[in-house]
Amino acid sequence: MSRTDRFTITYQISAESGGLAEKIADRIRVEQTVEMPPDTVPEQAASSFAEILSLQKQEEGIWNASISFPFSNVGDDITQFLNVLYGNISLLEGIKILDVDDSLFKKLFSGPVYGIDGLRKSLNAYDRPLSCTALKPIGLTTSDLAGLAYQFARGGIDIIKDDHGLADQITAPFKERVISCVRAVRKGEQISGKKTLYFPNITTSPTKVLDRFRQAAALGADGVLIAPQLTGLEAVRDITDEKCLPVMAHPAFSGSYIMHQNYGISAGLYFGKLWRALGADAIIFPNASGRFGFTHEICLRMHQQMTKPFCNFRKSFPTPAGGIHLKTVPSMKELYGNDTLFLIGGNLYQQKEGIEAASKQFQQTLENSNEQI
Amino acid sequence: MSRTDRFTITYQISAESGGLAEKIADRIRVEQTVEMPPDTVPEQAASSFAEILSLQKQEEGIWNASISFPFSNVGDDITQFLNVLYGNISLLEGIKILDVDDSLFKKLFSGPVYGIDGLRKSLNAYDRPLSCTALKPIGLTTSDLAGLAYQFARGGIDIIKDDHGLADQITAPFKERVISCVRAVRKGEQISGKKTLYFPNITTSPTKVLDRFRQAAALGADGVLIAPQLTGLEAVRDITDEKCLPVMAHPAFSGSYIMHQNYGISAGLYFGKLWRALGADAIIFPNASGRFGFTHEICLRMHQQMTKPFCNFRKSFPTPAGGIHLKTVPSMKELYGNDTLFLIGGNLYQQKEGIEAASKQFQQTLENSNEQI
């Protein structure tokens, strides 16, 4: 079978010896394809096997393996690709997926519909980072939340999203909340004189998320928030296929895949390539030096994966979040650059001068592109 | 707020000191509810906070915390419950979820529609374990797979499922495969004189899985296979709500949640309680001493969780899989008891006397309940 019929996955294997690393690579070759003793595979399915292209020692106990798979094992099915990527081997220790070659992404995915350029255009905001905040906390009524949305919009925030814990609770039911917050944001825009986008959280049962997306669009939302690992990953592609609203992806429930050094999926591949390929226009990730344990190096790698040339896909807006403060925005801007959507939640609520003033200050810090504050 | 308005989650916290364990418990209390600095939470949302009920040292470096949450944070939404359970804290190290109290499951879930009793009834097989096998490998044509299904059915296997890698590939497209395999199984039953059930794999994009389930039912399948972590977990509940076919759940892509001692979700809670509550009639889990790294102790605990009294839910059929051999069935029967669905894939294909004879032997071993072989 020629190389164009196959794609390659790169794995990091933790093993005490080269022999054991080989065994694990061979295990992947079988487990993620025919899943039966190789000598029982009939001739007509022999081309289904993966093939080990290389196995190289990186450092003591760590090996990298490149293994190629036939596209025909996947078909046109993204969910089946995820199964080939990490189905059964998620149950094995010592295997971490580092990369998948672009040919796979090109074949199955189409990337963001809007991306960085689309979001910039709808906000008429070029040459600066964008701002984002969250309506919270859970337990507030629709009218409380709409009141907050109004203040943030008066302050000129670029994107206001629901907290990812706002679902369809009785305190602020989805439909009522979207109607009121859209109205509040439109009202606030009249004061600020600038555009503000409102993204309600549509995360719900996998089979119902598309309906909730359509409902958000019909009610006048400017985009949506979704937690792909809760709805099932391919749901992102399905809603972006509707091509009517930008999608911001939230990392809830996904930490198990990306938090471990020797296990799971690399954060750059998972958030940076996979979620971008699925079509997330903005991707929230846990910021270094915030509440979560990511290093600056990992964060920068994710940022880079979301914005560098990749299969002609549009760029996803890297959206660092978690523990960003008004005071740290200048240094974060320095670190990540203009193509960044900064999400500040809690710290805007902490400012003594109130939400509208804090939002203005946040916005101003981002607009002063060439100054150090 | 009274206790009946709240439910409790039990966490295992890894921490070097009691002080640090307290800090982490407090972090959970805030992160999984209001997700903002506590002093910024307005009075009207104060009841949204979780509450630490206890924090007890288990051994050096390990603490158990019981934390209660208001039901109102969840509403009626299972996906939002998963978010409260493990949304943001999936991004933190050193937290493992051990248990959730039954009140939550009672309120939101309804368990299997068929369960052990329903599957036994449709097979007219009481007082013995059941047998299961898989059609494989990927790459075979529909006619090859139907040929295998015919042989397994002649041999009297109780349940024949698709390999979880059979999706909608061109070699054996879903619709064509279901039609042919149903027909082959019905033909095989005429030879064996006993019932055999065929469960095609419906795992696909979250927004399309319900349609594929309905298609399977319309084409005469006797049940379905689904990988809940690929479709999104609540999809299982949505398809069982249709109440027309039993559902077997496959652990692909779920290992990241349950493979770690100090991190993730305990396997007993995840497979045993959560998947049972979602409505899986049979739950495949990686068998000890097979290809995956589970201990007998963990496997027995999962088995127990699937079959013991739990919220008046029907029992899920525990389905150990991975490396079970014809020869080890008697000892596995001894270990797990009659309420077990043994899944043998590869080893049936390895038997020299052929699939039909191997299936008969498998079946006979299970039917000879009171003999040691």
Question: Where are chain A's structural domains?
Answer: 3-108, 115-367
Closest CA to A140 of A181, A185, A192: A181
SS3 call for A162: strand
- In the sheet that holds B341-343, the strands lie side by side as B197-199, B159-162, B130-135, B341-343
- Global model pTM greater than 0.90: yes
> Can the peptide bond before residue A309 be classed as cis, meaning omega within 30 degrees of 0?
no
Tell me which of A42-56, A356-370, B73-87 is least confident.
A356-370
Rounded to an integer, the average pLDDT of A162-177 is 97
How many angstroms away from the CA of A346 is the closest CA of chain B?
Answer: 5
Inter-chain touch B140–A255, beta carbons under 8 Å: no
Tokens of B133: 């096998």
Inter-chain touch A256–B90, beta carbons under 8 Å: yes
SS3 call for A53: strand
Hey, what CATH topology would domain B3-108 get? Answer: Alpha-Beta Plaits (3.30.70)
Chain B residues near residue A209 by CB distance under 8 angstroms: 206-207
Rounded to an integer, the average pLDDT of A130-140 is 98
pLDDT at A111: 98
Instruction: Report the share of chain A in percent with pLDDT over 90.
Output: 92
Distance CA B273, CA B342 (A): 20
Among the partner residues A207, A230, A237, nearest to B210 by beta-carbon distance: A207
Distance CA A293, CA B42 (A): 28
The number of residues in chain A equals: 373
Indicate if the pLDDT at residue B59 is higher than 70: yes
Tokens of A297: 């190096």
Rounded to an integer, the average pLDDT of A56-71 is 98
Establish if B169 touches chain A: CB-CB under 8 angstroms. yes
Going by pLDDT thresholds of 50, 70 and 90, the confidence category of residue A1 is very low
Average pLDDT score over chain A: 95
Q: Which of residues 85-124 of A touch B (CB under 8 A)?
A: 86-93
Distance of CA B167 to the CA centre of its chain: 19
Indicate if the pLDDT at residue A33 is higher than 90: yes
Establish if B352 touches chain A: CB-CB under 8 angstroms. no
Among the partner residues A34, A41, A79, nearest to B230 by beta-carbon distance: A79
Chain B residues near residue A48 by CB distance under 8 angstroms: 137-139
Contacts of residue B46, Cβ cutoff 8 Å, sequence gap at least 6: A139
Distance CA A347, CA A292 (A): 16
Average pLDDT score over chain B: 95
For residue range A237-249, what is the model confidence (pLDDT) as tens digits?
A: 999 999 899 999 9
Instruction: Report the share of chain B in percent with pLDDT over 90.
Output: 92
Distance CA A92, CA A98 (A): 16
Instruction: Give the residue from A14, A34, A207 with the most B CB atoms within 10 Å of its CB, the best one to mutate.
Output: A207
Indicate if the pLDDT at residue A44 is higher than 50: yes
For residue range A191-210, what is the model confidence (pLDDT) as tens digits?
A: 999 999 999 999 999 999 99
Architecture in CATH for domain B115-367? Alpha-Beta Barrel (3.20)
Indicate if the pLDDT at residue A372 is higher than 60: no
Instruction: Report the share of chain A in percent with pLDDT over 70.
Output: 97
SS3 call for A229: helix
H or E element that contains A256: helix A255-258
pLDDT at B1: 43
Establish if A77 touches chain B: CB-CB under 8 angstroms. yes
Among the partner residues A84, A136, A167, nearest to B36 by beta-carbon distance: A136
Going by pLDDT thresholds of 50, 70 and 90, the confidence category of residue A4 is confident
The number of residues in chain B equals: 373
Among the partner residues B37, B84, B167, nearest to A77 by beta-carbon distance: B167
H or E element that contains A13: strand A6-14
pLDDT at B322: 84
- Rounded to the nearest 10 degrees, the angle between the axes of helix A355-367 and helix A142-154 is 40
For residue range A266-313, what is the model confidence (pLDDT) as tens digits?
A: 999 999 999 999 999 999 999 987 667 788 999 999 999 999 999 999
pLDDT at A368: 83
Q: Check: CB of residue A207 under 8 Å from CB of residue A234.
A: no
